Structures are given as structure tokens and as C-alpha cells.
Amino acid sequence: MFTTGSKYYFGVAGLGSLGAVLYMVLVNPCDVGVLALLGIAIAMSLVGGVAQFTDDFDADTVSEAVTASASAPAKSMWPLLLALGGVLLLVGMTAKPIIFILGIVVIFAAGVEWALQSWAERASTDSAFNRFVRERALSSLELPLLAGGIVATIAVAFSRIMLAVSPQSGAILFIMIATAVLVVGFLVALKTNLKKSTIAATCVLGAVVLLVSGGIAGFSGNREELVVAAAEDHYSHKECEAASSEHFDKNSNNAVSMKSGISATIRVKDGKLTAQLIGIDTPVQVVTLARSNLTTILFRNLDDAQYRLVANLGTQKVGDTGVEEEIVDCTQMTGKDQTQALILKISKPSASSGPYTLTVPGLEGQEIAVVVP
Amino acid sequence: MAIIERPTPADTISLRMPVTPAQSMGIVRRPVTSTGWKSWVFTVDHKKIGIMYGVFAMFFFIVGGVEALLIRLQLAAPDGKILSADLYNQMFTMHATTMIFLFAMPMAAAFANYFLPLQLGARDVAFPRLNALGLWLLVAGGLILNSSWFLGGAADGGWFMYSPNSGPVFSPSNGVDFWTIGVQIAGFGSLVSSINLIVTILNMRAPGMTLMKMPVFCWMIMVVQFLLVFSLPVITVALVLLTFQRSFGATFFDVAQGADPLLWQHLFWIFGHPEVYVLILPAFGIISEVLPTFSRKPLFGYPFVVFSGASIGLVGFGVWSHHMFATGLGPISVAAFSIATMAIAIPTGVKIFNWTLTMWGGKIWYSTAMKFAIGLIVLFTIGGLSGVTHAVAPSDTQQTDTYYIVAHFHYVLVGGMVFGLFSGFYYWWPKVFGKMLNEKLGGWNFWLMVIGMNMTFGPMHILGLQGQPRRMYVWTEARAGEGFFNFGFWNRVASLGSFILAIGILIFLINVVHTARKGKPAPLDPWDARTLEWITTSPPKEHNFDRIPVVHHLDEFFHRKYQENTTTGEMVQIATGAQLVQAEEDNADAHIHLPSPSYWPIAIAVGVGTLGLGVVYGVPIMIVGVLIILGSAFGFVLEPSVADDIDYDPPMSGGQDTKELAPLG
Amino acid sequence: MAMWLFLGSECLLFGGLISTYMLYRGRVTQGPRPSQVFDIPFTSVSSFVLLMSSLTMVLAVTSAQRKDNHRTKLWLMVTASLGATFVGGQVYEFTAFYNEGLGFTTNLFSSSFYTLTGFHGVHVTVGVIMLLSLRGIISKDKDTGDRPEVVELIGLYWHFVDIVWIIIFTLVYLIPA
Amino acid sequence: MSHDSTLTGSEQNLTIFKGMIHSARLRRIGLALGASSAMFLSGCASNAPQDTWQPKGENAEKINTLQWMVFPLAGIVGVLVFSLIGYILWRFRDKGQAIPHQSHGNPTIEITLTIIPALILSVVGVFTFRGIFQLAQTNDTQMVINVTGQQWWWEYDYPAQVVNGVEIAQPIITSGQLVIPTGTKVLLRETSRDVIHSYWIPALNGKKDAVPGRINLLRIQANKPGIFAGQCSEFCGLSHANMRMEAVALSPEDFATWIANQQRNAESPAQATLADEGETVFLNQCIRCHQVNGLKKADGTAAIAAPDENVYAGAAPNLTHLMSRNTFAGAAFDLLTDGCRKNVWSAAPEEFGAVYLKGVIADCLNQTNIRRWLRNAPAMKPMYANPVKLEASDGKYRGMPNLGLSESDIDKLVAYLSTLK
């Protein structure tokens, strides 16, 4: 009959042809994919034929020669896994690239395992020794990779679920999952008379639930807020209006960790805007800043109202279009007795596209002039 | 005779012996031989690892030395044309990096690995395979660092690689990437080996050897390893941040985002300053062995030397900012670090006094080893005193980043560390190779090095005080000044001196070759030495000691040879070293178990190296690296400490029922 | 012994990363700030999960000392599962932050935040892999050393990672910039 | 410290030094001492422009006092220790004596030898402590100058302020030479546009790093008019060696003259002269980076340089008063011929102001240097100028590129530049 090895090859060949037909019907009859699949199918049937003919990769023939005491070679799940990998590969081709990659990984792993197993099985006639050889060659890689795979699977599945549900229910779900794991753990630990199969069933059930819901969540996509957030990118631009902005000013940060290198401190006190410079005692209304220098300006609000500091730094051309766009930078809304910093780098002198000013929306008519020589 | 045998691990007992496994087992068998190249590459023997560390370090000593000579050639005359500015910057960066990470640390590791177990009376270190791992990681790091010369230029930011000059914009070549990766890998190797050595010292001393009866060399090594354990992670953080910035676009040192360039400096020097003591303390340890031996007296004030060493280590963590007096830290931190820096001069001074007083009342034998040790005391003192002059922070603002600093740390590192290591070479060469280094050549070696060293680095004091900043690829007549103290004259003297120094070192290499070819065999106890490493053959057997010695004294070996005449107080010889060694052989332990060689340490190192290259060249290589690491790390963990019987060719039958355990892991 | 030294070394590693984060968390010139993206309730839950895993790790260690292989394996599995969900939580958190506009290279806060928590996440992942492998080793009866000691060493590592998280959680999430 | 006592101190050391090398046995120690003696001797070097032992202002003097305390102290300790070692080496050499008594030390000596250095150091420490806080004092500052480092030159900008009764109405921007009035406490606010540099004029004060994103304060003060050399002393990339600076101290009256000149805009040269053609070349080439205040384009609008579009760090030296300074390209090269340069550097303090304020007159212009520079700047001073390798800096240069000017253009430019007094 067919040997183990050639069974696999013929299987793959069959699957390949099937996939090619499906591909032709469903996707595009003149695609590279079809050619590739057909190629695989042909190649595999050839190899399978050779394998069948030479009896290679057939552990049975070897084991037959072994004395009766030696046990038959271990049952192998690798052919099955290989085929599964092939299916994943095909599905991945039409559906999602991630599945395609998964297929490659599975095929690779199963191939290596199988090759080594069959190699080890021919190492000697002693099956115990063969197992030993196999383990020595593989266990150091098998264990961590398997473990890594488990972590990755749980992490990915779990995070997909969390991404799909709302933050509140996510937290609750998280607690529930953790509690479930704990409870099962304690139950198993306390009730020693539980059947092994029950435990196994529970574990498998848990895993399946996690994987399936993870898969569903993954396909259904992220929750709406996140999708919207990703599309709108709230924080990529600053909103420098007088009114508080929903995102830019959310939980605004009113303390400054930068203490070195302050070029000027701008204050609002009793509705008046003034600037203070190092080395000069009196408040000033004109600030001189060096060109192209990183300049840190502190904004300190001493009034009850919320204010933000806005730097108006002239205009610049947008690309080659000739359209002039204003350069504006600003702090977040700053509450009473709070400080925020503004880091500026002004590359053009104020003579070119000025005048430059520092203003506070809400305090109209007041400004600090910025001179960049 | 001792029998070296392998115990039978429990898990192989259940295994029925295979019929003919030999051929197909090929790749999965453990290396077990003790000769041939495999016995070196896969060894876990601390002595072989020590020698390999030494060879590796010596090679890079020569590389770094050639770099130094090129630098001096460039500066011998105004407007030097030997090197371009770019090449010069790479040259001094790699000179420092090579000398520190690839010569000084590995050479100290060579001594530590070889002599620590011998001085402690142990058969091997606590984790022999980790030991090998440390070595191979270092090799991987060294290769990656130096491969940059051929892959688009070496790092060019100076060895302290200040950000933002080391950032992707200001140093666009891959040099800095190779540098960060190489240093990180070498550092990881050092971390592994330092953990190993600490455990060895704390757990594997011979019976009777309390910590206060332990040789000073071991003490200093232990302090060094603690310094490494606690300082290396800090540089790792700095290097990780820099790597992330350079390779993955992180913003850590991007000033435009508000980053603070001083973060790098703090992280670097929190590592960098203890690192200085990492470099010098092993040399202190070596001469603390050499001086008593050749003065025929115990070390003066042993506990003071030990505790001053430990306190140098401790205070060394609290003075890093004295490298940053000019960076604008603010007067309070400057004052605090200035005072702390002065405080560290005290334990250092204690050491110098103790060494000096060790010789007082002694019977001094001026062997080459002793000459180098005395040279260290004198030259290190000069370096130490110039160090005090820039502990005074205001004075330091005139001196920092000038040649005065270069002079200072070369007096400390060449005059201190290198002289200490050479002292160690001459002292321990007969122990390691069983042949005496030629003393006459040794004399030439020593005097040329002394003259060369003083001619090279002495004038740099003047250059620095005359205002020549370091790291300048040229100096010009216009700023050189006139009269006796002009740059020109002293730069020439320094360049000349560097070649004399180089000739001195060359003579050492000649001496090594000469000794290997026709050196005379060493007697068992050539120096009338004092510590345990001399109580075995030279070179020591694979298992070090036939019988684990029981210790009663500090300087156990000496006290076995000499006894005090209780009435006259004179020391009377009661046995020769050779007799003692013979006695040990006669009473050898019956069963000695040694760990088997292993593939995994070098495999892990290959994996880490691949991962490192992946950071520079792309994610796929990184994945390969991670897989190799994962696989070999688990191989490492799952491997029993001794090889299974079937690993031998022909397979041996497991046998004698002995229970003694081989050293851990 | 060696594990203790290693962990001592690790303390400084995280010390350095935490200092970097503390220095940089307030320095935001563009993109979101810490307080604008953090989801404290969620992170509290995941911290709690990690804490629980420390408890189960203790149970695993005591079982190992009692040479109760069955329970050792069980508790190792439970610890590993909790650890893995924690890692999953972190993956979720990173993805969510990224969607809200906080990329690795966005600003100083993001770079130092991702580096710090990422390093911790890698430590947890390595821990989980060790736990699972240890379980595998116990099943195959292949361990080379003293089993309770091995379990204890990994337990030590696990507790360390856990404690580091508590510190990170307090400093990074709870104390406002 | 006066010059005389310097000599005496070093002579004494020289005597010790000679005494040491008389003994053949102490040869090595003598040699070693040579180095430490050299430290003292260096105090009397002549004409070394960056000598750290020749303070010319209050802050540097304070440092020098500390140096004069700690260096001799270190020297004396060194001499004592080396004498002791020398004595021991001679006295206890192997003369065939018996194996000595195995003494393990003497706690009294140990403790004494620990306490003595501790005491010495605590004295040093007290003075150091005082020195640090004195040098950090900034609250009685009389003038502020912003100093900005950039690869590989320094920009000085003088914010609007009143100094010694003279008003600086418009901010002044200059480079190459820092000009300060004598007897005035000047506060330098240092920062950097790219990497860390370090500002160091040894005669005026110790060095202080210019760190991007930070402002570091350094106080200087010059006692007498004169010119003082300095050099960037934090490694800052390729041309670190070529990043120099000079500080010029002028009497308050001369300084007022200088201020008045610096506030002027440049005037266009007379029509149809070589310099006028030079202005056109300047407008075609140089204006891309270099600002000349008052320069107008052909259409009459103000010509504004855009260094931020061409140079990574975003600035280039302002050339409005190029000929009022003696150097160019980061003070790396002289604008003056060697003879004229000597005149400036060796001028007595009383006449220094007059000599310096003359600026670069036609006879003194170092044509070789400036032409070489205009012909191919990166060949004279390495500046990562390879256009192919500018990817990392968005195609922007980090110094002046090779402009490929024709010889006639260079003639015209030199003529124009010499009008920028």
C-alpha cells in the first residue's frame, strides 16, 4: 500500500489541485496563485511517486526488520499537521496574509519535526534510544517554541477581544477571565478526585472559547472609539483657540519637568501679560530669541480663568503650492497657578515673515513681541 | 594518582544501551575530548578559558596599541596629515573602546578566571558553562565592534559617545550601531562572568578559608565583580536607549523633542566611573600578591587593604558626576561630587601606604614582576595626585577635556593597570605555562616601558595645562606658543615616547616567543610564593588540586613551608614547595568529577551576535538570532553537567557507583 | 545566589529605565500626554492579575517543595495563564494607545513609556515561557537539577518581575506627571 | 600670583628635581617627578595663548589660586611618598638577610596614615567648596551675552540692554570673536544648536559646556584690554579641532565705539566697482546662508538669508561686519596676515583698543586664506560636505560646502567682503 511518506505527498497534491480549482473559480482563473498551486500539486505527486517507489520515509519497513521486542515507531501526528499547514496556506492565499504566514510556520515546524523523527528512528534499532536522540536534538527548541506559541496565541486572542469591547466591559471581562482561571485552578487543586478527562475538557473548552472569540473579535475589528481615534488622530495637531478643545486639552498637563534652559517666562497676572528674562530684573514686553535655537518658554497663569499661550510665528509656504500657511504653536489650557512649557525653534528671522508675537486668547489687545534677529 | 571519572546521571540508567549509535549520533553528541581544537572551543575548564581570555585580550592590546601609535604619529607635528579628521575620530574612539572593553577587562578576566579557583582551592568556578558563555559573548562583542572598520567605518563619537553627537544625524555611519551592539554584548558577557565569579568566591573556597583569609587578589576581583554587576545594567539602559533611537527612531536624545543630553552622560558615568575601578582593582590585587612574595613579608595591614578596596568600590558609585563638572550641573551638585571625589583619594592613599610599608623591613627581590609592581606604586601615585588636582572642581574646569586629563588617566591605566598586569604576567607565567619568562629581556621590557610611558604621558600634563584640548585631530603652530613649553616640542616628545613604549611591549612579545621556544622549565615554586595556586603542578592539572587543601592561614602555602621559631622569632623553612606538591599528590582524592565540555555556550554567543547584527541590518536576522538564543539557552539548561556515557567514542558503560556531585550547572 | 545577583543587576536596569521615564514623561511637544491615554481601571485589573499570579507561583513553589508534581504542574499552568493574559493586556494597551496617536517615536513620553513597559513585558513573556517549559520538563521528567530549587528560582524571578510591575504601576500610572 | 613668585616656586621645584636625579638609584623616581615638576614649571610658560596658569580676569584668578594650592600640595605629597619608596627600595634590598618577621601590620600607623590624607583633603575641600560657590555667583552681572555653539563655530548675540551707560538698541549678532568691555562682569548664556560644545577661554574662566536645550551660565571678566584664545573642548564631531574662539576685551570707551559700529547696517559699495559686482555674486550665492544686514536684492527688497533651508543646525555666521573681526570660519583661520596678526596679539593693553578697532584694513587682509576658503571650504576644514552622504540630515549641510566659484567670482567676492567693515 501507500507508505506514510507518500501518503502525505499525494494528499498535498490533491489539496493543491483542489485549491487551484477553487482559486480559479472563486478568485481569478489567470492568477499566479493558480499556477503556483498547480505547480505544487504536480511537484508533490512526483515526489510522492518517487517516495512510494523507493520506500523512503517509511518507518514501517525499517521497523519490520527490527526484532520483535522493539516497539513499533511512535504514532506520528506530523503528516496531519503538515496537511493542516497546507490548508492554512491555501486559505491564507485567498483570505488574510497572517494565515498564510501561520501556514508556513506550521509546515516548517511539522516538517522539521517529522524529518528529525524519521532520522532518529533510523539512528538505531532501539526505540528508547531513538526517542532519546530525538529529544536531545529537538527538545531544547521544542519547549520554548511551544511555550512561546502558547503565550503568543493567548496574548493575541485576548488582546483582540479587549480591543473589540468597550473599556468598561473590557476591564470586567478581564477580571472574569482571571477569576475563572484562578477558580478552576483552586478547584482542581482541592478536588483531587476529579477525573483527568474532566480537567482536560475544561482546559480545552477554555482554550477554544478564547481562540474562537479572539478570532471573531479579530475579524470584527476594533471598537468604534479606537477606529475613530486612529482615523482622526486627535493629538497630531494643536488646537490653539480660546475655547478648550475636547482632545488636545483633555487632562491637560500643568506641571513642567523642564527646569534648565528657560529662555523666558511669560506670566498672566490680573489680566496682564508680561515677560521675564534671566539676568534682567524688570518685566519686558519684547523678547529676543536666537534664530534656529531650541527655546523653552514657560507660561505661568496666575489668574482664575484658564488660558493658553499661543505663539504666532509668521507664515510659511506649503510645499510648492505657493499657499501661505500660518505657523502657530501653543500650550494646553493652563489653570490658576499652573505652568506649562512651550518649546519653539524659530528658523526665520522676524524681519522675513514677522512680526512674531506671543498672545493669550481671551486677553485681546495684549501681546509680547518676539524679535528674532 | 587521582582518577578523573564521570558519575552516572540518574536519567541514563534507565536507558538500555544502543546497538550502534555512533555514526548517526554525529551532531547531537557532546564534545568530550580534552585535546585538540574542540577541547578549547567547547571547553568549560576555567584554565583554558582564562588562557583564551588572555590571548584574546593580548591580540586587542596590540590592535589598540597600533591605533594609539597612529594617533601619536598624527600629532607628532602641527597640521598632521597621516590621518583624516574622520579616521582620527574613529581611531581614538576605537583605541579607548578596544583598550577598555577588549583588552583591560578581558585581561583582568583572564587572571580572575585562571587564578581565582586556584587561589581559592577549588576545582573550577561555580558555573563552568556560564564561564564559557561569558568568554564567547565577549568574543562576539569584540568581533562586532571591530568588524565596523570594514563595514563603513568605525564609531566616531569618542568612547563616551555623548549624545546627541552619537545620534543618527550626527554620526550617520553604522559605526556607532556596531559600537553600541558590541559593547552591549561584551557587557552582557561580563555580567554573566561576574555573577559566576562572585558565586565562586562566596561558595567555593577551600575548607578553612574564611573571607579574611582569602588572598587580596580574590578580594579585589570580588569587589570588581560587584561593581560590574551593579554598573553594567546602567550602561545597558543607556545603550538600549541609544540603539532604539538609532535603529527604531525613538526620541530619547532628540533635543528638538525636549530631550536632555545630560541623561546619557549621567547613565554613562554611573557605569563609567565604577568601570575605572573595574579596570584598576585587579591590578591592585595582582601587586598585592607580588609585593609580599618578593618582600618575603605578608601584606602590611591586610584588613585595611581589603576594606579600602571595598570602600573604593562603594564610593566609586557616588562620584560619577565629577566627569561632568563643566556641564552646568549647578554649584551644589558640583560641590558634593567634588568632596566625594576627594574622599575616594583616602582609601587609595591607604593602599599605596600599605604597599610601601609591606616592603619596609622586607627582603626585596628585584625580579621583573617586582619591578613592575613597584613601577605601579610610583606611577599610580602620580596619576592619583594629578587626580586630586582635578577633584578641585574649579581647577578641573580648566583641565577637563584637555591633555592633562589624558595624562592623568594614562598614568592611572598604563602606569597602574598595565604595569600591574605585566607584573602578573611575569609572576604567574611559570604557573600557567611551566616555563620561566626570561628575566633579562624582562628587565629591558620594564625599563623601556617605564621610560616610554613617562615620555609619552608626562609631557601630556604640560600640553594640557598649556591648553591643548583632547580629541583634536590637528594642532597648529598658531596656538602652540613659544619657549620651553610650546606644544610642538612636547608633542614630539610624547610621540617619540609612545614608540619607546611600543618597543618595550614588543620585547615582551619577543620574550614570550623566546620562552615558548627555548625557555627553561619552571621549578614548582620559583618565587618562594605564598598562596594556594603554587601547591599544585605547573601548569596545573585539569582538576587543579589532587587534594582540596585545608586552609589555616592567610598565605597558607608560605606557612606550610616556613614556621616561626618561637624563641628567636626567626622564620625557619620546614619544607620546600616541591615537597608540598608531592605530598598532595601522594594523598590525592579518590574520585574527582569535572563538568563536561559543551556546545551551548558558544552557540548562545553566536545567537546573541546574530541578534546584534540583526539590529543593524534588519528584523529577519534578529528573528534568526532570537531562535538560536532560545534553542541554545534551553539546550544549555536541559543539559546535564556531565556528558552521558553514550557521548563517548566508543561509548562507555556507566559504572562506578559514586555520589559526588560535579560543580553546579 | 546567582539568581539574586542577577536580580540585583536587573533592579538597576529597571531603575535606569524608570529614571529615564520619570525624567521624560512630562516632556511632550506633540502627541498625547500620559494622562490623556492612560486607562487606569484597566491597568489596575491587569496589575491585580499579575499580583494573583505571584500568589499562584507561591503555591507552585510550596507544592514543588512537597514534591507534589501534580499540583506543581497545575499551579505553574495557572501562573503561566495569568501571566499570558497580562501580556495580552499589554498588547491590547499598546495597540489602543497606538490607535489614539501615541506611536513609539511620537514624543519623549511615548518612547520612554514603551521602552520601560515593553522591557517589562518581555520579562513577563520570558517568565511565562520558562514556566510553561518547566511544566513540560516536569512532565517529561527531564530536569537536570534539584526540582524544588528550579521551581523556586523561577518563582524568585517571577516575584521580581511582579514587584517591578507594582513599582512601574505606581510611578508610571498612578502618580500624575 | 605675580610672575616673580611663579618663577621662584618653580625654581625651588627644579632644585628638588635636580637633587633627585643625582642619585642613580632614584633615577626612576626622578623621572616620575619630572612630570609633576613640569606641572609647576608650566606656570611660567611664555606666550602660550591657552595657558591655564595665566589668568587675565577675576574668575580665572580665583581658579588659579586654587590651583596654586592643590598642585604644590600634590607635589609635596608626591615627593614625600617617592622619597620613602626610594629609601625602602635601597634599604631593604636583598642583602642576604634572613626571612623577615611575618608582621601583619600596625593599626596605629594605619589609622594615622588614613587620617593625615583625610585632614589634608578636608582643608582642600573647604577651599574648593568656597571656590565653587564664588564662581557660580551671577547675581551682580552687568552684561548678558548669548553664546550659541554650532558645528563648528560660535555665534554671539548681544540682546538689547544698557551696558556701562551705553545702550545696545538693536540686538547685535557676531561670531568668531567675543568682544567684551574690561572691568565688567559679563554673563554668558551658553547653548547649542546641535551637539554639545564647550566654551573655554582659559585666561578668563574655566570651561562650561554648551548643551542643546539647556542654557548654561558662565561669568567672565577681563582686567585689561587684550585678546585671549580659546578652543572648543567638548568633542563635537569632525572639525572639533577647528572650532576655536577668541575673546577681545576693550576699554569701555572703545567698547562703545565697537557697539556703535556693529549697530550700523552694511552699505552697498559704489556702483560699477569690483565690489559692486561682488555684491551680485553674494546675492546669488552667499545670501542663501549668510545674512548681511541692510543688503538689498536687485528689486530693492531686503535680502534675507535662509540658512535653515541649507544648514542642518539652521544658522550661519552673520557677515555684516566681517572685517571688524580678525578671524573667520569658527576662528579657525586668520583674516589678518601674519604680521598684522602679531601686531594685534602683542599690542600693549593701552594701545590694544586702537589697533583692534582698525579692523582688517586692505593691507592686512590675508588673501591666501580667504581665497582658499572660497575656492573649496571643506578642503580647508572638514565638514561632512560630501553631498552624497547627506541623507541623515535631510540633505542639509553641516558647514560650508564647496560652492565651485570661478576665480573671477572669487576676486569679486573678496572685493565685496572687504567692504563689510
- Structure-block grid coordinates of residue B333: 551638585
Cite the DSSP H helix spans in B419-555: 419-433, 439-465, 487-518
Nearest-angstrom CA–CA distance, B213 and B203: 14
pLDDT score, position D148: 93
The pLDDT tens digits of the residues spanning A189-231 come to 887 777 777 878 888 888 888 888 888 887 777 777 778 877 7
A271-285, B60-74, B226-240, D307-321: which has the minimum mean pLDDT? Answer: A271-285
Bigger pLDDT: A175 vs A45: A175
| A355–chain B Cβ distance below 8 A for any pair | no
Under 8 Å between Cβ of C9 and B191: yes
Bigger pLDDT: A111 vs D399: D399
Bigger pLDDT: D17 vs B615: B615
Residue appearing with cell numbers 602641527: B78
- Residues B51-62: what's their mean pLDDT? 95
B263 inside domain: no
pLDDT of residue B296 exceeding 70: yes
Instruction: Report the predicted TM-score, pTM, of the whole model to 2 decimal places.
Output: 0.87
Same domain, B428 and B552: no
- Structure-block grid coordinates of residue C153: 528560582
- Residues D271-282: what's their mean pLDDT? 91
B152-166, B225-239, C39-53, D382-396: which has the minimum mean pLDDT? Answer: D382-396
| A145–chain B Cβ distance below 8 A for any pair | yes
The pLDDT tens digits of the residues spanning B104-137 come to 999 999 999 999 999 998 888 888 888 999 999 9
pLDDT score, position A257: 62
pLDDT score, position A140: 65
Determine whether the interchain pair D35/B461 forms a contact, defined as Cβ–Cβ distance below 8 Å: yes
- Structure-block grid coordinates of residue C13: 536596569
pLDDT of residue D30 exceeding 70: no
pLDDT of residue B307 exceeding 50: yes
Backbone angles phi, psi at B260, to 5 degrees: -110, 110
Number of structural domains chain C divides into: 1
pLDDT score, position A17: 74
A24 pLDDT tier (thresholds 50, 70, 90) = low
- Residues B265-275: what's their mean pLDDT? 93
B33 pLDDT tier (thresholds 50, 70, 90) = low
| D249, β-bridge pairs | D180, D226
Residue appearing with cell numbers 617617592: D82
B247 inside domain: yes
Under 8 Å between Cβ of B386 and B433: no
Nearest-angstrom CA–CA distance, B145 and B148: 6
- Structure-block grid coordinates of residue B538: 605547573
A26 pLDDT tier (thresholds 50, 70, 90) = low
Q: What distances in angstroms separate CA B505 from CA B101, D31, D41, D419, one per listed residue?
A: 19, 20, 31, 60
A147 pLDDT tier (thresholds 50, 70, 90) = confident
| B87, β-bridge pairs | none
Same domain, B86 and B221: yes
Calculate the CA B279 to chain-centre distance.
7
Determine whether the interchain pair A258/B258 forms a contact, defined as Cβ–Cβ distance below 8 Å: yes
Which chains contact D through at least 3 pairs of Cβ atoms less than 8 Å apart? A, B
pLDDT score, position B661: 36
pLDDT of residue A169 exceeding 60: yes
pLDDT score, position A33: 63
Q: Letter for the amino acid at B322? A: H
Nearest-angstrom CA–CA distance, B390 and B394: 8
Same domain, B504 and B559: no
Pick the residue from chain A with its C-alpha nearest to C109: A257
DSSP class of residue A116?
A: H
For D90-95, the CB contacts below 8 A with 24+ separation are D90/D25, D92/B295, D92/B359, D92/B360, D92/B361, D92/B362, D92/B363, D92/B364, D93/B364, D93/B366, D94/B363, D94/B364, D94/B365, D94/B366
The pLDDT tens digits of the residues spanning B562-583 come to 888 878 777 888 888 888 888 8
Cβ contacts of A152 within 8 Å, gap of 6 or more: none
Tell me how long chain B is: 665
D207 pLDDT tier (thresholds 50, 70, 90) = very high
Nearest-angstrom CA–CA distance, D227 and D250: 9
- D216–chain A nearest CA distance, Å: 7
Share of chain B above pLDDT 70, in %: 91
ipTM: 0.84
DSSP class of residue B649?
A: S
pLDDT score, position D251: 94
Calculate the CA D99 to chain-centre distance.
60
- Structure-block grid coordinates of residue D71: 598642585
pLDDT score, position B334: 92
pLDDT score, position B190: 93
Bigger pLDDT: D47 vs B240: B240
Under 8 Å between Cβ of A73 and A81: no
Instruction: Show which residues on chain C lie within 8 Å of chain B, measured between beta carbons.
Output: 1-2, 5-6, 8-13, 15-17, 20, 23-24, 27-30, 104-108, 110-112, 115, 119, 133, 137, 141-142, 144-145
The count of C-alpha atoms lying within 13 angstroms of the C-alpha of D5, restricted to the half-sphere facing its C-beta, is 6
Q: CA angle C169-C171-C177, nearest 5°?
A: 125
- Residues B398-405: what's their mean pLDDT? 93
Same domain, B508 and B528: no
The residue ranges of every structural domain in chain A are: 4-125, 262-371
Number of structural domains chain B divides into: 3
- Residues B327-348: what's their mean pLDDT? 90
pLDDT score, position A123: 55
Mapped to the 3 state alphabet, what secondary structure does A283-305 carry?
EECEEECCCCCEEEEEEEECCCC
A215-229, B234-248, B595-609: which has the minimum mean pLDDT? Answer: A215-229
Nearest-angstrom CA–CA distance, A28 and B534: 82
Pick the residue from chain D with its C-alpha nearest to A353: D304
pLDDT score, position A104: 78
A135 pLDDT tier (thresholds 50, 70, 90) = low
- The CA R_g of chain D, rounded to the nearest whole Å, is 27
Q: Integer distance in angstroms from the first to the last C-alpha of chain D? A: 39
Determine whether the interchain pair A293/D157 forms a contact, defined as Cβ–Cβ distance below 8 Å: no
pLDDT of residue B31 exceeding 80: no
Cβ contacts of B21 within 8 Å, gap of 6 or more: A123, A124, A129, A133, B646, B651
Under 8 Å between Cβ of A292 and D193: yes
For the structural domain made of A262-371, what CATH number should be given? Answer: 2.60.40.420
Share of chain C above pLDDT 90, in %: 33
pLDDT of residue D12 exceeding 50: no
Cite the DSSP H helix spans in chain A: 4-26, 32-54, 59-65, 78-94, 97-121, 127-164, 167-190, 196-220, 224-232, 350-353
Determine whether the interchain pair B28/A136 forms a contact, defined as Cβ–Cβ distance below 8 Å: yes
pLDDT of residue A76 exceeding 90: no
Instruction: Show which residues on chain B lie within 8 Å of chain C, measured between beta carbons.
Output: 11, 126-127, 130, 191, 195-196, 198-199, 202-203, 229-234, 236-238, 240-241, 244-245, 248-252, 254, 256-260, 263, 267, 634, 637-641, 665
Decide the pairing of beta strands D177-181 and D244-250.
parallel
Nearest-angstrom CA–CA distance, B502 and B475: 23
Residue appearing with cell numbers 582569602: B214
Residues of B in contact with C10 (CB under 8 A): 233
- Residues A164-176: what's their mean pLDDT? 85
The residue ranges of every structural domain in chain D are: 3-135, 139-421
B283 pLDDT tier (thresholds 50, 70, 90) = very high
Q: CA angle C158-C161-C165, nearest 5°?
A: 135
| B152–chain D Cβ distance below 8 A for any pair | no
- Give the closest of C1, C12, C28 to B234, CB-based: C12
- Structure-block grid coordinates of residue D262: 556693529
Helix orientation angle between C69-99 and A167-190, rounded to the nearest 10 degrees: 170
Under 8 Å between Cβ of B352 and B412: no
Average pLDDT, chain A: 75
pLDDT score, position A3: 57
Pick the residue from chain A with its C-alpha nearest to D157: A290
- Give the closest of A279, A292, A296 to D315, CB-based: A292
Under 8 Å between Cβ of B72 and B80: no
Residue appearing with cell numbers 597612529: B70
| C159–chain A Cβ distance below 8 A for any pair | no
**Based on the number of CB atoms within 10 Å of its own CB, is C80 exposed (0-12), middle (13-18) or buried (19 or more)?**
buried
Average pLDDT, chain B: 86
- Structure-block grid coordinates of residue C59: 503555591
Nearest-angstrom CA–CA distance, B586 and B573: 21
D235 pLDDT tier (thresholds 50, 70, 90) = very high
B217 inside domain: yes
Q: For chain C, what is the largest distance between any 2 Cα atoms, rounded to a whole number of angstroms?
A: 57
Q: What distances in angstroms separate CA D421 from CA A32, B151, D101, D331, one per listed residue?
A: 74, 49, 83, 17
- Residues A111-120: what's their mean pLDDT? 69
Question: For residue C77, what are the domain limits?
Answer: 2-174
Within 10 angstroms of residue A304's Cβ, the number of other Cβ atoms is 8
The pLDDT tens digits of the residues spanning C79-125 come to 999 999 999 999 999 988 888 888 888 888 889 999 999 999 999 99
Bigger pLDDT: B270 vs D34: B270
pLDDT of residue B376 exceeding 90: yes
**Based on the number of CB atoms within 10 Å of its own CB, is D339 exposed (0-12), middle (13-18) or buried (19 or more)?**
exposed
Question: For residue B552, what are the domain limits?
Answer: 524-532+547-586
- Residues D235-246: what's their mean pLDDT? 91
Minimal CA–CA distance to B85: which of B470, B473, B471, B468? Answer: B473
pLDDT score, position B2: 41
- Which homologous superfamily is D139-421 in? Cupredoxins -  blue copper proteins (2.60.40.420)
Determine whether the interchain pair D232/B300 forms a contact, defined as Cβ–Cβ distance below 8 Å: no
B652 pLDDT tier (thresholds 50, 70, 90) = very low
Under 8 Å between Cβ of D223 and D183: yes
- Residues B209-236: what's their mean pLDDT? 93
pLDDT score, position D186: 93
Calculate the CA B226 to chain-centre distance.
14
Report the side by side order of strands in the sheet with A262-269: A280-284, A272-277, A262-269, A294-301, A338-345
Cβ contacts of A278 within 8 Å, gap of 6 or more: A262, A263, D144, D189, D215
pLDDT of residue D43 exceeding 60: no
Residues of A in contact with D137 (CB under 8 A): none
Determine whether the interchain pair B257/C2 forms a contact, defined as Cβ–Cβ distance below 8 Å: no
B439 inside domain: yes
Bigger pLDDT: A60 vs D389: D389
DSSP class of residue B19?
A: S
Bigger pLDDT: D16 vs B435: B435
pLDDT score, position B88: 94
pLDDT score, position B511: 95
| B20–chain A Cβ distance below 8 A for any pair | yes
Same domain, B577 and B431: no
pLDDT score, position C32: 81
- Residues B588-600: what's their mean pLDDT? 78
- Residues C13-26: what's their mean pLDDT? 85
pLDDT score, position B57: 95
